[in-house]
Amino acid sequence: MTLKNDNDLRELIRKAALLNAVSHDGKAQAGALVGKILGEKAELRSCVKELSSVINDVVVEVNNLLPAEQRAIVEKNWPETQRKEKPEEKRLPPLPNADKYSQIVTRFSPNPDCVLHLGSARAILLSHEYARMYTGKFILRFEDTDPKVKKPALKFYDSIREDLKWLGCKVDEEFIQSDRLAIYYQYTEKLIGEGNAYVCTCSQEEFRKKALVKEPCPCRNLPAQEHLERWRCMLNGGYQEGQAVVRVKTDLNHPNPAIRDWPALRIIDTKKYPHPRVGSKYVVWPLYNLAAGLDDHLMGVTHIIRGKEHYTNMVRQKYMYQHLGWTYPDAIHYGRLKITGAALSKSKIVLGIKEGSFEDFDDPRLGTFAALRKRGITPEAIKKMIIEVGIKPNDVTLSWENLNSWNRKILDATSSRYFFVAEPIELRVLAVPKAFHTKLPLHPEKPENGFREYSVKPEGDEKAVSLWISGTDAQTMEINQPIRLIELFNIRIQTKADKSVTALFESESYEDVRKTKTQLIQWIQKDTEYLTEVVNQDASVTQGFAEAACKKLKPDAIIQFERFGFVHVTEVGPKLVVYYSQK
Ligand SMILES: [Zn+2]
């Protein structure tokens, strides 16, 4: 007996292939099966080639089934294989020194000079998640103290609030640094008065030369009184941009020259560069380390969770904390999160929009939250991915596929299914013996979600039925090939032209074609089609027809076009507009 005719073996392979397909998005992998079968039947090692050929046959047969059909067969015959122990929900590790504090307080502190993108997801979600885990407080702090180079814009304060809401992060308290300049001035004056900060009027170059050789600049050792006068002069507009800067004293021998007497406040000509919220009211503006450092203490932040590129800033700020007699919060520095293929640089995003190479901040090619939202990426998927990565200090590179696979699990369980044919071609089926009524579930595993129903009636002497099918399906068809129109009937192709295909009715039952490698395709009844535009991830547009039931969709729904992919509905009007999400 050859392996080909060994029915027991074939059944064994079929089971393995179906199980494999169910756990691999409907596509069984022949390679994985060879090893599996050999593991169970070692005697077949002498005829691997023949075995592979049988496996390939079975895999084609199994992969030809719809994922829902594969699952149904597996559930029916081997239900024990599908009782998965629920994988333990990944939890974050506990925060260091959490019991030291009566309330855990975390913060997310963006500069509102751009929309947020996936690169911020880690800071936002980890800070928020930890606040919730300890029933603590999550603060949103806008760090908008650079009206010149990293100039904030009013619309971004709102878009950031919106993004956080979309991500499911509830802000317990919000602060805006441009409202707090009086506070920063008050502490600066204290630092200067106590000889822990000074007003340096050296040029940057002069100061740098001294700092490099661990020497004080000529200003550093002047009496505090002199510096308080210089400080008042700064506030009163006595210095121009670049003429004076407040420095916080550190150890001049610190091995990193960039730490030595770091700059804390500088002058910005706000007549020329007005701030979008407070205009030209102030000319002295705090730099990052002064404002963030003071705020973290004053706002009671207990845990700072941020990228490790901020490590040096912690070292700088600790000098200021020492001067003020404060204790630095616990800081956790995680590694960079890179997403291959995503445009995540703020400057590139802003420039691309300005130059017109990106449509707007929600252009599907961008990694902004606005773009992800439009593309039907769910916030739950982003959250699951970030928590999975956790707070490791090493860099992590993820791909869109990582995010998509989280997203697929969520969408697959909830999205309604519909037919869509891209670049449609007309299919005329002749000799259809009777009218067919078909009832398609919106979700293969959830009949309670409802159905779409269509009646297909033959017309005229030819008993013809006219349908739309996708151009790609039509292209691969061959004369005399049998095809199954999903949940309708089986046909055999007769003629093929550029714009149309004709076929003959063959039989009704799916059982007739199940065992052969008959292709299953979706179809849309002619004259009921709904003109549809799919915006792809590269911003190109695919035209096609969706089935009539899509006219009842609500904007913002995420649905699956079968055999095409998940899409996010953005417009339900004279035409349907959807954004492509993923396979
Ligand atoms: Zn100086």
Q: Are 257 and 248 in contact (CB under 8 A)?
A: no
| Residue 242 CA, ligand 1 centroid: distance in Å | 12
Assess whether pLDDT exceeds 90 at residue 84.
Answer: no
| Residue 182 CA, ligand 1 centroid: distance in Å | 25
Q: What mean pLDDT is predicted for residues 474-499?
A: 94
Distance separating alpha carbons of residues 516 and 57, to the nearest angstrom: 10
Burial of 310 (0-12, 13-18, 19+ CB in 10 A): middle
In 10 A of CB 389, how many CB atoms? 19
Q: Are 577 and 570 in contact (CB under 8 A)?
A: yes
| Residue 229 CA, ligand 1 centroid: distance in Å | 15
| Residue 311 CA, ligand 1 centroid: distance in Å | 26
Banded pLDDT at 410 (limits 50, 70, 90): very high
Strands, DSSP E only, in 85-180? 105-108, 137-142, 173-176
Angstrom CA distances, 83 to 21, 23, 86, stand at 16, 13, 9
Q: Are 29 and 77 in contact (CB under 8 A)?
A: no
| Residue 244 CA, ligand 1 centroid: distance in Å | 8
Residue with structure tokens 């096609």? Answer: 544
3 state SS for 217-257: CCCCCCCHHHHHHHHHHHHCCCCCCCCCEEEECCCCCCCCC
| Residue 304 CA, ligand 1 centroid: distance in Å | 32
SS3 state of residue 157: helix
| Residue 419 CA, ligand 1 centroid: distance in Å | 72
pTM over 0.85: no
475 or 69, which is more confident: 475
- Quote the pLDDT of residue 545: 98
For CA atoms 248, 249, 251, 256, the dihedral sign is positive
| Residue 486 CA, ligand 1 centroid: distance in Å | 79
Distance separating alpha carbons of residues 360 and 38, to the nearest angstrom: 55
| Residue 190 CA, ligand 1 centroid: distance in Å | 19
| Residue 142 CA, ligand 1 centroid: distance in Å | 31
Q: What mean pLDDT is predicted for residues 221-248?
A: 97
Residue with structure tokens 């756990």? Answer: 23
Q: What mean pLDDT is predicted for residues 204-228?
A: 97
| Residue 221 CA, ligand 1 centroid: distance in Å | 9
In the beta sheet, which residues pair with residue 332?
Answer: 305
CA-wise closest residue to 485 among 499, 465, 462: 465
Q: Are 360 and 570 in contact (CB under 8 A)?
A: no
- Strand ranges of the sheet holding 530-535, from the earlier edge strand across to the other edge: 417-418, 558-561, 565-572, 576-582, 530-535, 541-546, 420-422
- How is residue 37 written in tokens? 């079968």
pLDDT (tens digit per residue) in 421-433: 999 999 999 999 9
Distance separating alpha carbons of residues 322 and 196, to the nearest angstrom: 10
| Residue 328 CA, ligand 1 centroid: distance in Å | 28
Distance separating alpha carbons of residues 55 and 20, to the nearest angstrom: 12
Percent of the chain at pLDDT > 70 equals 98
| Residue 241 CA, ligand 1 centroid: distance in Å | 15
Q: To which H or E segment does residue 428 belong?
A: strand 424-430
Angstrom CA distances, 304 to 210, 294, 506, stand at 33, 13, 68
Distance separating alpha carbons of residues 372 and 164, to the nearest angstrom: 13
| Residue 205 CA, ligand 1 centroid: distance in Å | 10
Write out the residues surrounding ion ligand 1, Cβ under 5 A. Answer: 200, 202, 217, 219
- How is residue 203 written in tokens? 């040029």
Distance separating alpha carbons of residues 304 and 15, to the nearest angstrom: 52
| Residue 255 CA, ligand 1 centroid: distance in Å | 20
| Residue 272 CA, ligand 1 centroid: distance in Å | 26
In the beta sheet, which residues pair with residue 524?
Answer: 468
For CA atoms 181, 187, 192, 197, the dihedral sign is negative
Distance separating alpha carbons of residues 106 and 304, to the nearest angstrom: 6
For CA atoms 491, 492, 495, 500, the dihedral sign is positive
Distance separating alpha carbons of residues 123 and 305, to the nearest angstrom: 6
Q: What mean pLDDT is predicted for residues 266-291?
A: 98
* Poorest-pLDDT segment among 27-41, 95-109, 309-323, 444-458: 27-41
Distance separating alpha carbons of residues 306 and 315, to the nearest angstrom: 14
| Residue 235 CA, ligand 1 centroid: distance in Å | 18
DSSP single-letter state for residue 459: B
For CA atoms 429, 430, 432, 437, the dihedral sign is positive
| Residue 576 CA, ligand 1 centroid: distance in Å | 65
| Residue 578 CA, ligand 1 centroid: distance in Å | 60
Assess whether pLDDT exceeds 80 at residue 434.
Answer: yes
Distance separating alpha carbons of residues 475 and 456, to the nearest angstrom: 24
CA-wise closest residue to 148 among 262, 280, 293: 280
Percent of the chain at pLDDT > 90 equals 74
Assess whether pLDDT exceeds 60 at residue 87.
Answer: no
Tell me what the pLDDT averaged over the chain comes to: 93
In the beta sheet, which residues pair with residue 263?
Answer: 247
Banded pLDDT at 229 (limits 50, 70, 90): very high
564 or 89, which is more confident: 564
Q: Are 55 and 12 in contact (CB under 8 A)?
A: no
Banded pLDDT at 394 (limits 50, 70, 90): confident
| Residue 144 CA, ligand 1 centroid: distance in Å | 27
Assess whether pLDDT exceeds 70 at residue 243.
Answer: yes
Q: What mean pLDDT is predicted for residues 449-458?
A: 94
- Quote the pLDDT of residue 295: 98
Q: What mean pLDDT is predicted for residues 556-575?
A: 96
- CA terminus-to-terminus distance, the chain: 42
Banded pLDDT at 492 (limits 50, 70, 90): very high
DSSP codes, 312-380? HHHHHHHHHHHHHTPPPPEEEEEPPEEETT-B--HHHHHHHHHTTSSSSTT-TTB-BHHHHHHTT--HH
pLDDT (tens digit per residue) in 162-189: 999 999 999 999 999 999 999 999 999 9
Distance separating alpha carbons of residues 525 and 72, to the nearest angstrom: 27
